[in-house]
Structure 1
Amino acid sequence: MRHGQSRRAFLSNVGRGMVVASVGTSVAHEMGLVSRGWADEMTDRPLQFGDREPLVRFMQETPAAALIPALGQKLKDGVGLQDLLTAAALANARAFGGEDYIGFHTLMALGPAWHMSRELPAALQPLPVFKVLYRNCDRIAKTGGLGKETLRSIEPQSQSLESTSLRDASRKLNKSEAERILATLAQAGPANAFNALLMEVEDETEVHRVALPYRAWDLMGIIGQDHALTFLRQSLRYCVDAEARPHSTATRDALAHVMSEFHLDTRQPGDRIPDDQWVEETARLLLSSQPADAAAAVGAALADGISPDAVTEAAAVAANQILLRDPGRPQKYASDNKPAGSVHGDSIGLHCCDAVNAWRNIARVADDRNRFAAAVLSAYQVARDRIVPGTEGERFIDREALPHAADREQVKESERGPLLAAAEEAIRGRDQRRTVAVLEKLLSRGEAEQEIVGLLRRFAISEDGALHAEKYYRTVTEERATIRPRFRANQLLALGRVTASAFGYPAPGYDETRELLRVS
């Protein structure tokens, strides 16, 4: 499975930054050291995207009501689906700059939608992508259209920088200075900027703060790195805005303590792979501990040579259990598309799974210091989310996970076909508990896994998902590809639960795309 760049590729181009800094971006472009996209982004003028600009403007100018047939015509004219997705990502970045809730959720859905399209027959591949492009254009139109321009080109810093300069400027709420520092760091390549940005991201474990940089990095693996600075700026701006709101320093303090106590700033990550029992016991520990204690426990494990991937795997197992034990949205937080008892959208379990998945992937591509930090914070994340919202300290680990014994007893079907039909019926009936029980029985037979994936993917495309359908589907896909067989089935059970919760809220633009593609 592909997880963006390899660590070697991620770190390979740092040295060129010294040359770029000395000759300037224009000359560097002529020398072939940076692309025209990089050079254009580092000058103080409106942010333009070179040869891609006409298609980017199309994404900002086209009303949502006219978008699907216009996209169909673009495909007929020979414009590739990947080019359309790239233009949408750039239009989103210029319009929102990481500062619009629906906007940055849409950006984070673009990569997952692309990956989802790769799982489909060629004739159906536009379905998940067009769904997100519709959402993108609709939001741009509602917030100003082509006139909405949050990001402009920026000039890099000219003075020397410390390793913490970007974080220091962000903590001081100096957004323009922080962006100039990021541009300077980016002269040494996207990896250099990404690693510096992570030091600011790691000040807190709020899900959007964590998922946005990883999903942006993954998106660059699809559309290329010519405009990497644009995508990383969105995450930086989100972090600076978060710094301006009242917040605790508990996360950054806990991380600093663990990194110092176990000398993780100067160690190289170990490669010890513990057994399944260690993963399961560590997951239970995270669900039972205070956040700082959980961070310290995995810090000790990392210092003892346990692989960061094993630590984040335990966190992923624990996060999955939060989703399977979640009582659902309380009535006081219910809304039209997220009723009481629902777990799709921004539920605590789904958010925890997405955040831990982001930490896991960051730990696979970052430098050594940030690999350690991501592993520690994945544990902190789970422990922070271990308490059921709206209760007097009830822990998720003390609740029974789905499926309950009573739900298992109600599954009378025994053959593959009837069980698959029962699963779809339960999803359409929004019956989360029966959906999970039926899927468990199917999976326990060791068959129909691909049919289950296809069923859940179909609904992840057709339903709106309250901004999270594509991203969570991708989270589960990535976890299933890397997690141990013992814990793999639970990923599909959780996705089944979310799918049943989300059914009945069709995605805008989906039916029109089906008609365009002549899908029955």
Structure 2
Amino acid sequence: MQRNRREFLHDVGTGMLIAGMGAGLAGDMGISSAFANDDDGRLRFGKFDRLVGMMQDVPANKLQPKLIAMLKDGTTDSRELIAAAALANATTFGGQDYVGYHTEMSLVPALQMGSELPKKRQWLPILKVVYRNSNRIQDSGLSQKRRLKKIEAAQIPDGADEGQLLLKASRTANMDDAEAVFATAMQKGSLHAFNKMLWAIQDSSNVHRFGIAHRAWELIDVVGEEHAHTLLRQCIRFCVDSEPGVQNWLKRRGHTEHPMRSHLKRTVEQYKLLDRKLGTRRADDAWLLEMSEFVNAKTANEAVDAVAAAIKEGIAPDSIAEALSLSANLSVLRQDQLNKDSWRAHGATAGVHASDAANAWRGMIRIASDRNKVMGLLVNAYHTGNAKSHSEYEPLPHDADLAKIDAKDSAALLQSAESAIRKNDQRAAAAAIAVYGEQGHAARPVFDLMLKYAISEDGRLHAEKYYRTVVEEFATTSPTFRWRQLVSLARVTASAYGYSVNDKKGFRAGGYEAACKSLGVDV
């Protein structure tokens, strides 16, 4: 696309300014170095370029007041900030930075959280994750290097399947081949490329593979189809980048083959799962309960076998996914001590990870090909079956804790829950919300309470994702079981309150208090 004269002169002028004052001062003034050289191989993002450049060049503490001023004067809005943050993140990290991809996964949830808030507080979750995003870009030292560059599509041999080629490139850790093949797949549209990418995403039971793919797909609606390639290619890069770690893990344990890969291959062949038409039979509550408890109690391989049998019996994919979500939720409710000193239930814990993974697969199978529906359900089963962080710990709420709840009306129960959250009393918080739900009170006030803390607390990089997991699963789970999701959220919220990303007590999320002060709202 040719640029008009005004755009050309703007870019030339910007380059001259940067050359004259230096990139650091230019960044502080909101002038992006992204315009400095149009032939440097960097990606360009049209109307988002200036914001992307600011997020990569301006320190987070200086960026936040600039963005607030732009929001207030209407120069930008929440959706545009999330779009620019997603593109800045993807092009900087390329799916290869732990804090980076966790932040990428939090962007859509933050935007959705903002829509649940009163107008005067709607910007808070967006500003929180943008602060985290820009802070990590600066700390990583990648702000000027940027991992994503322009890429040429590959010439695919006639009859070759891009999914198989991407899987091969991932397993051989060949980044160049993976990028080139994926660029070719993108020529047939983002949905086609997404389904081909899932071949690699499904090749390991790593929750981050699932989450980054799920949220990257959702982000396309925010940034626009023209930037879909930028968002999705970071997912295939994640797979390639993580394969050496997978191989080292196998070597340390003396495995000659990958346990999950080999079991899934045998299961698919045994049940002929890729040769059959998928069923549409909705499962009833009794089936959902039995399946969820079976998966939670058995091994990963047994969980895969149970799901394969359900597919063969014609149970609808979403019903199977619902059962896996309930099983993951049970892992949150049953979590025992992480170690002798910690009851932490938030962050990278087995139950939260399993719940986020189950939610991701439930979302992805709705747009997946039949082949990927089957493989996604099997991988989800394997991951959920491995999500054990309990011994004989009974799921919350416990009878002894329920007996201590003497509040009767909804307001008093919410007050009890909030008091427990502030004391980090997971059991009491879970019990208060369980009683609230049993009494038939409305769910929205509970979500409002949990949303408040999902914004103010760090949650070890998981607060936004897990909050939205519960919102989405509550809405799509059988009424018989849906309150379990909110009981789990109460537990996780109580666990997270007041802790930094490094588990230090007495901290709120980075940038949160400054944003509240600038917006003139209560902390």
SS in 2 for 1:152: coil
1:208-219 equivalence runs, <5 A: 208-219=208-219
Normalization by structure 2: what TM-score?
A: 0.86
2:395 & 2:103 partners in 1: Cα distance?
31
- The one-character-per-residue Cα deviations of 1:124-174 (angstroms, maximum 9, x if unpaired) are 211101000000011111112631311111000023232411111111111
2:521 & 2:290 partners in 1: Cα distance?
47
Shift of 1:415: 2.2
2:175 & 2:64 partners in 1: Cα distance?
37
Match of 2:46 among 50, 70, 95: 50
Match of 2:78 among 54, 77, 81: 81
1:107 & 1:99 partners in 2: Cα distance?
11
Shift of 1:220: 1.4
Letter in 1 for 2:226: D
Contact 1:202 1:252 in 2 (8 A): no
1:370-409 equivalence runs, <5 A: 370-386=372-388, 388=390, 394=391, 398-409=392-403
1:121 & 1:414 partners in 2: Cα distance?
28
Aligned to 1:138: 135
Aligned to 1:328: 337
Shift of 1:451: 1.1
Aligned to 2:20: none
1:452 & 1:502 partners in 2: Cα distance?
17
Aligned to 2:302: 293
2:130 & 2:47 partners in 1: Cα distance?
20
Letter in 2 for 1:155: E
Letter in 2 for 1:237: R
CA separation of 1:294/1:145 partners in 2, compared to 1, >3 Å: closer, same or farther?
closer
- Stretches of structure 1 lacking an aligned partner (at least 5 in a row): 1-25, 28-42, 335-339, 389-393
Aligned to 1:425: 419
Matched, 1:184 2:193: no
Contact 1:328 1:347 in 2 (8 A): no
2:142 & 2:60 partners in 1: Cα distance?
11
Contact 2:281 2:314 in 1 (8 A): yes
Match of 2:289 among 260, 275, 280: 280
1:60-79 equivalence runs, <5 A: 60-75=56-71, 76-79=73-76
2:47 & 2:393 partners in 1: Cα distance?
55
Letter in 2 for 1:189: G
2:233 & 2:113 partners in 1: Cα distance?
26
1:450 & 1:232 partners in 2: Cα distance?
34
2:116 & 2:333 partners in 1: Cα distance?
26
CA separation of 1:242/1:146 partners in 2, compared to 1, >3 Å: closer, same or farther?
closer
Matched, 1:128 2:125: yes
Match of 1:256 among 260, 265, 277: 265
1:105 & 1:309 partners in 2: Cα distance?
26
1:44 & 1:359 partners in 2: Cα distance?
38
Aligned to 1:243: 243
1:367 & 1:170 partners in 2: Cα distance?
20
- Stretches of structure 2 lacking an aligned partner (at least 5 in a row): 3-38, 251-257, 500-507
1:383 & 1:205 partners in 2: Cα distance?
10
Shift of 1:44: 9.4
Identity of aligned residues (%): 41
The 4+ residue runs of structure 1 with deviation greater than 6 A are none
Aligned to 2:145: 148
Contact 2:338 2:389 in 1 (8 A): no
Aligned to 1:39: none
Match of 2:404 among 400, 410, 427: 410
Contact 2:156 2:181 in 1 (8 A): no
- The one-character-per-residue Cα deviations of 1:216-266 (angstroms, maximum 9, x if unpaired) are 111213332221111111111111122112244111222222222222223
Aligned to 2:154: 157
Number of equivalent positions? 465
Aligned to 1:443: 437
SS in 1 for 2:239: helix
Higher relative contact order (CA 8 A, sep 6+): 1
1:422-501 equivalence runs, <5 A: 422-501=416-495
CA separation of 1:269/1:222 partners in 2, compared to 1, >3 Å: closer, same or farther?
farther
